[in-house]
Amino acid sequence: MYECPNCASNLKFNIARQSMFCEACGTVMSPYDIEKEKDAEEREEFEVTVFTCPQCGAQIVSEDNEAAAFCSFCGGSTILDSRISREKRPELILPFKKTKEDCLTAFTKMTKRSIFSPNELKNYKDVDSFRGIYMPYWMYTATKEGHVCYDVRKSLSKYRGDYEYIDHFNYDTDVDADFTGVSYDASSTFSDKLSQAIAPFDTTQAAKFTPAFLSGFYADTLDVDGEVYDKDVEELTTKAVFEKLNDDPAMKSYQTTFDKAKNSTKTAIVKRTLVMLPVWFMSLRHKEAGKEDRVAYVAVNGQTGEACADLPIDLKKYMLGAVIAAAALFAIFTFILPTLKPIALTISAAVIAIITGIVYSSQNTRIKNQETGEDDAGLKNAQKKGLVKSIPKFDSQTGKKLEYNDPDSKVNILGIKFGTGGFIITSIAIAAALFLLRPVSDLWYYGGTIIILLLVFLFLVKLMKRYNKLTTRQLPQFIRKGGDDSAKTAVRDHERKGGEDK
């Protein structure tokens, strides 16, 4: 902690004052004027307290040695184990501009907009469950230089037979572009999905790092290598250059393809700067009877106030909505549709089934990507380094990656398990059979339509249940092995002590 020079209480960074503040005596100081262990700037590291969650292994860094009361990542309330450690010293820090109260306002606004979200979220008042965390980001400085020469073409709108006349030209230019401020989160704990949702940060406002800024806040540990995002930077800069070139008024009447331009310039990554960016973070433990506990996150950009949350849907509210929709459908059926031919009815139902099936299937893919960490470059890097348990299991004998098998992706109807394919095929088969056979009695068409719509209804209910899987995550499972066995030791110590506070 940082002692107040006046009264020896704890000096903390104050958001409203944008400086260090003592709540006891009102002393205000610049973070740069505080010296702790001769905070030498040339040092590569700085001293911190690392807290490790005994439940999930997540680590969080603090300037304070006061015990952290809860884990932001799994929502567990077990006292975290602490030890003094040295962390890589960031170069820059963007101090918090938004307060906890701003955060709660942003969150409330968001839950109000989402009609199906549970009431306990709408009436959420506990401002203290938001925790200010500085997230480490890699900020890239890159240049793109080189001679660009690619093919552009212009149709002459002249045709002869099957041939169209096209003029080809070589587009020749020199590119010299500088990029700075492109940043990616460098913590495997912080999901890329959330970090992208609350982006961007204005990094031009970042200040030179000094540990005093962290006082009163936490920081996440850096565990993603800077090189992980090199490819993304290259893609982004290439795209930016190409868009700029295309904006050239001289290019207006020409066509070109991105691929051809892609290989004609080279990106050089000049520097990767470690910068701490402010994020308000909250976790909501989601319990469902008979199922594994899951967790949902709320993240708010500490500079702009941009909020993002995994908002689960209240199933009761959704069912009420579904009943209202069904009543509306029924009304349409009885009043408008009798004028339609019954076969048209069955075919419309089959079309609705196909659309539902496609939505359902794409949601399954998203669930799979989230559960396996496939959509998170930072998490994948941490998995590779053995820091985080990797979810795609590996066959112990062949070492091959096992397909992610989601037992919950199928819909059980009268003991038959329907996948998306089965559902779509059944619906089409019913419609096709009626179309070809053309039974005389209208009852056949109505019966077929009702069966298809019933299937649609069951898939829609399941869709929402599955949606809640997408808005919650597996509890994080960090292994923290390799160069850092401290987490395991910490857990063991903790168990030996019977889980009591240090």
Q: Which stretch binds Zn ion (CB under 5 A): 1-9, 166-174, 261-269, 425-433?
A: 1-9
Look up residue 259 and give its two tokens: 């691929």
Report the nearest approach of Zn ion to the CB of residue 72 (Å): 8
Near Zn ion by CB under 5 A: residue from 15, 60, 61, 71: 71
Which of 9, 18 has the CB closer to Zn ion? 9
Rounded-to-integer distance, Cα 198 and Cα 307, Å: 6
Beta bridge partners of 274: 138
Rounded-to-integer distance, Cα 114 and Cα 109, Å: 9
Report the nearest approach of Zn ion to the CB of residue 308 (Å): 21
Q: DSSP string covering 23-67, please?
A: TTT--EE-GGG--SS---TT-SEEEEEEEE-TTT--EEEES--SP
Looking at this protein, which amino acid is placed at residue 101?
E
CA-based nearest residue to 265, from 299, 283, 294, 240? 240
Q: Which stretch binds Zn ion (CB under 5 A): 25-33, 213-221, 236-244, 316-324?
A: 25-33
Binding residues for Zn ion restricted to 73-102, rule: CB under 5 A: 73-74, 76
Which of 6, 119 has the CB closer to Zn ion? 6
Are the beta carbons of 181 and 25 closer than 8 angstroms? no
CA-based nearest residue to 85, from 493, 501, 495, 490? 490
Which pairs count as long-range contacts for 150-155, CB under 8 Å and 24+ apart, including other chains? 150/256, 150/260, 150/261, 150/264, 151/256, 151/260, 152/251, 152/254, 152/255, 152/256, 153/254, 153/255, 153/256, 154/253, 154/254, 154/255, 155/255
Near Zn ion by CB under 5 A: residue from 3, 25, 153, 327: 25
Near Zn ion by CB under 5 A: residue from 15, 22, 228, 453: 22
Binding residues for Zn ion restricted to 50-69, rule: CB under 5 A: 53, 55-56, 58
Which of 54, 342 has the CB closer to Zn ion? 54
Rounded-to-integer distance, Cα 49 and Cα 34, Å: 18
Which of 83, 97 has the CB closer to Zn ion? 83
Which of 338, 499 has the CB closer to Zn ion? 499
Q: Which stretch binds Zn ion (CB under 5 A): 72-80, 313-321, 386-394, 443-451?
A: 72-80
Contact status: 175 vs Zn ion (CB under 5 A): no
Report the nearest approach of Zn ion to the CB of residue 80 (Å): 8
Which of 110, 282 has the CB closer to Zn ion? 282
Rounded-to-integer distance, Cα 121 and Cα 282, Å: 12
Which of 20, 139 has the CB closer to Zn ion? 20
Near Zn ion by CB under 5 A: residue from 3, 17, 24, 325: 24
Beta bridge partners of 147: 174
Report the nearest approach of Zn ion to the CB of residue 313 (Å): 25
Near Zn ion by CB under 5 A: residue from 10, 18, 27, 304: 27
Q: Which stretch binds Zn ion (CB under 5 A): 22-30, 299-307, 331-339, 417-425?
A: 22-30
Q: By CB under 5 A, how many residues form the interface with Zn ion?
A: 16
**Which residues would be at the binding site for Zn ion (CB under 5 A)?**
4, 6-7, 9, 22, 24-25, 27, 53, 55-56, 58, 71, 73-74, 76
